[in-house]
Amino acid sequence: MGDSVDDFFSRVEGKIVNGIKFPTWYGELYFELHRGTYTTQSNTKKFNRKAEVLMREIETIATYASIQNKGYQYPKKDIDHLWQLICL
């Protein structure tokens, strides 16, 4: 790959200047022989699922709190922000 990002892009630019054309794909990148969704990053999936479960519990508790205590305001902005972090 190269010593650095700058080194990599310098070599790519050099190939372009020398007339090498790179392949271009349009539309979906679907690999016909790749049917699975398995990953070697099992911890990532495990902790993402844990975060999803905890968020569901937070939403449930916040909903009950807003029903029981009219002075409590459901933290929609904070919960939405957390969901965006998890889903990203």
* Average pLDDT over every residue of 17-46: 75
Let me know: does 48 contact 39? Beta carbons within 8 Å.
Answer: no
38 or 24: whose pLDDT is higher?
Answer: 24
Write the DSSP symbol of residue 4.
S
Long-range contacts made by residues 38-42, C-beta under 8 angstroms, separation at least 24? none
What is the rounded end-to-end Cα distance, in angstroms, of the chain?
Answer: 27
> 60-80, pLDDT tens digit by residue?
999 999 999 999 999 999 999
27 or 64: whose pLDDT is higher?
Answer: 64
pLDDT band at 1 (very low <50, low <70, confident <90, very high): low
49 or 21: whose pLDDT is higher?
Answer: 49
Region of 2 (left: φ > 0; alpha: ψ -120 to 50; beta: rest) is: left
